[in-house]
Chains A and B, each alone.
Chain A
C-alpha cells in the first residue's frame, strides 16, 4: 500500500493531523491551525515531515482503517475542497500508524485495542499487535519492525557478535540510549571494557519536539511570521500531549548523549572489578553466579517483579556486553580438562527464569565465533528467546565484493520468539543486511545492485554466495537445493 499516490497536503487535510515540520517558522502556524479547526492546512515542505497525533495508542487493524480512509478520500475529495469542517472532525479522532519510509512520515493512531484484560500503561512500552505481550523498543526502528514491533518484556535477546564486536557494541549502545529516552532503569555489565565507557558513548537523540520550539518562537516575531495561515493567528496554540512517551527514537551517531541526560535514569553497572571478587565455587562459573545474583537483587530492590506492587511500574533493561568472552572465564563450554562446562547455559536458563516473572528485558551479546563447538552454540541459542547474528564483512573477502559494497555486513535472524501464539511473527524477508552510515545504523533487506558490467569476460563464480538455507529462522535444512520458495 503506497502512500505516495495521494499528495501529502490532501492526506494531511483529510486526516486532520497535527503537523510538526522541521522548519521552525512553519511549525507554529501549522500546529495551531490543524487541530484547532480541522480546516485544510497548506504545508510548505513536502519532505521530512513528522506528523504526531494528540492521542497516541495502538491499533490492531490499522491497515484496514487506513485503506478505508484512503477510499473515502478518493471519493469525497470534492467535499473536502469545499471545506466541510464536520468531516475533518470525524477524522480528528481517527488515525493510522504506519511508518512511510519513502516520504518520511510517521503517523500514530488513536485506536484502542479491545483488551480483555486490563492494559498496563508503562511509558516507553506498548502492547504488541499480534499477542498481548508488552513490547519495548530496541532503539533501532528497523530492528523493531523485524521483531514484530519490538522486544517482548520478559525475554532475552541474544546478539551473536561479529568478528571484531564493534557492531554488537553499537546495538547495545542504541539499547541503552533508548533506555535513557524512555526513563527505564538500566543495568549494564561488561568485563571487556568499563561499563561507564559504554554509557559515555551513547548516541544523541534527535529531538524535534514542536512544543519546545513553539515557546521559543512565539515571543520573537508573531505578526510577520504567518503569511499563509494568517486567519488562525488569534487561535490558541496547540499543546502536544506529553503524557505518552514515544516508542522508538531516532539517534545521531556523530554526537554523544549529554551526561546529564544519561544521569536522569537509574543505572547499575557491573564491571570487571565486581566480578573478580566473587567467591569460587566448584560446579559453576563464579562470575556468572555473581552476575545472576546482582540481577535478582536489582529486580527485588527496584520492584520489577510481577508480584511486586510499586506505585509506578517501570521496566528494567539489562544490557550485557560480550558475555562469555575469555574474560568471563568461558572457554566455549569446555573446562580445562575438556569436560563439558554448562555454566553459560545454566546462567542463561537462570536469567530467562528470573525475567519471565519480572518486568525486565535483556540484550546479551556473546562472541560465539570464539566457541569451537557448534553444538554448544546451538545450546546457547536454544536458551534465549530472540537470536540474531551479525556477520560483518570486515576482514573477509566479501568486503571487496561489488554486490555488497553498500553494506557492512549480513544480519541473520536465527530465532524469533512465539509467545502466547502458535506462530511467531515473521518479517517479510530473511535476507537482511546492515549498514552503518555516518549518523545512523540501519538494518534492511539486502538489495543486490544491478550487474551493469559490460565486459565480455565475467568471473565464473557467482558474486553472491548462496545464503545457506540453514541460517533461515524457523526451519533448517542442510540440502543445497536450487529451489527457493
Chain B
C-alpha cells in the first residue's frame, strides 16, 4: 500500500466497502505498481482478494508483496487471498491443451477456437466462490484482474470481452457487493484495445491511467498518473486529476507535475 496514492485518491474505508469498478489503463508505462498497491490496500483493510493474472506468475506478486510489506503467503493461509493462474490456464486452453495448468478452462473454447465469454465468466465465478467458501466469516471481497487485454490479444473480440466485464461487474456489484479492479492497455494504435479501454473508462467509477512522459525516459520521473471520476448520471463535471510519479524499490512517490525532488 502506497500512502501517497491513498492520500491522492482520497481512499477511505467507505470507498473500500461500497461496490465499485476501478479501471487501470496503461499507455506506455508499466501500471503494475497500481495492481500491487490495490492488492495490499484491500488485504490490509480486511477485504478478501481474488487475483487473476494473465501477465505474471504468483512468485512475482509474492516477491513484490514482500518488498512493500504485505506477506501474500500468510494471507493465503488465512484464506484471505486467492490466486488464479490466468497465464497458464489461458495459454493451455488456446493452445489446444499444451501446457501444465492446474485446472483447465478447456470448456471455454469451442471447436473453432473461439473463447466463449459466458463459459469463462462461469469459470471465474467458480474460482471466486471456491475461495469465499473457505472464509470463516463473510466479509467484503474484491476481484482484481491484472490485465484483461491478453484475452483480446488471443483472439476474443472486443464485444466478447466487454460482455465478460459486464457480467462480472453485475455479479460482483449485485450478488457479492464487492469491488472489481480491471487493468487494460490503452494504446491509440491498437483499435480493438482502445475500444476496450474506452468501455472500461466509461463504465468505471474510478479510472486511473498510467502514461509515459512525452519527452521520453527520465530517471527521476517514471511517468504520469491520471485519475478520472466519471460522474455517471449526476450532472456535475467529471473530475480529472493528474500527478507524476517515481517508483523506488519499496514505494511510489507522487507529486505534481514539475515538483519532482530531483528538480526542486
Asked whether A305 lies within 8 Å of B100 as measured between CB atoms, the reply is yes
23 contacts between A and B (CB under 8 A): A132-B63, A283-B111, A345-B154, A349-B150, A350-B91, A353-B88, A353-B91, A353-B99, A354-B99, A356-B87, A379-B153, A419-B56, A422-B252, A472-B217, A474-B212, A476-B212, A477-B28, A478-B214, A481-B214, A483-B215, A484-B215, A485-B215, A485-B218
**Interface residue stretch chosen among A265-273, A289-297, A448-456:** A289-297
Apart from A422-B67, A476-B28, A476-B212, 9 more pairs, CB < 8 Å: A284-B95, A284-B113, A292-B95, A293-B98, A349-B153, A356-B57, A357-B57, A472-B217, A483-B215
What band does the interface of chain B fall in when counting residues whose beta carbon is under 8 Å from A?
35 or more
A-chain residues with CB within 8 Å of residue B215 when the two chains form the complex: 469, 477, 479, 481, 483-485
Chain B contact residues, majority secondary structure: loop
Q: 3 nearest interchain CB pairs?
A: A283-B113, A475-B212, A420-B63
On whether the beta carbons of B60 and A282 are closer than 8 Å, the reply is no
Q: Mask for A346-369, Cβ within 8 A of B = 1, else 0? A: 110110111011000000000000
Chain B residues with Cβ below 8 Å from A423 are: 222, 247-249
Residues of A within 8 A of B28 (CB): 475-477
Q: Is A342 part of the binding interface, using a Cβ–Cβ cutoff of 8 Å? A: yes
Chain B residues in 8 Å Cβ range of A281: 96
CA distance A420 to B155 in the complex (A): 29
Tell me, yes or no, whether A421 is within 8 Å of chain B by CB: yes
CB of A282 within 8 A of CB of B113, answer: yes
Binding site secondary structure of chain A: loop
Please measure, in the bound complex, the distance between the C-alpha atom of A354 and the C-alpha atom of B94, giving whole angstroms.
13
* CA of A284 to CA of B113, assembled, Å: 8
Q: In this complex, what residue of A is CB-closest to B88?
A: A353
CA distance A483 to B217 in the complex (A): 11
Complex CA distance for A350 and B113, rounded to whole angstroms: 15
B153 and A422 form a contact (CB under 8 A): no
B96 touches A485 (CB 8 A): no
**A378 contacts partner chain B, Cβ-Cβ < 8 Å:** yes
Interface size class of A (residues with CB under 8 A): 35 or more
For residue A418, CB closer than 8 A to chain B, the reply is: yes
Chain A: CB-nearest residue to B36: A422
State the CA gap A383–B95 with chains docked (Å): 15
CA distance in complex: A330, B17 (Å): 49
User: B122-163: contact bitstring with A at CB < 8 Å (1 yes, 0 no)?
Assistant: 000000000000000000000000000110011100000000
List residues of A (453-485) whose CB comes within 8 Å of B's CBs: 469, 472-479, 481, 483-485
Residues of the A chain whose Cβ atoms lie less than 8 Å from the Cβ of B112 = 282-283
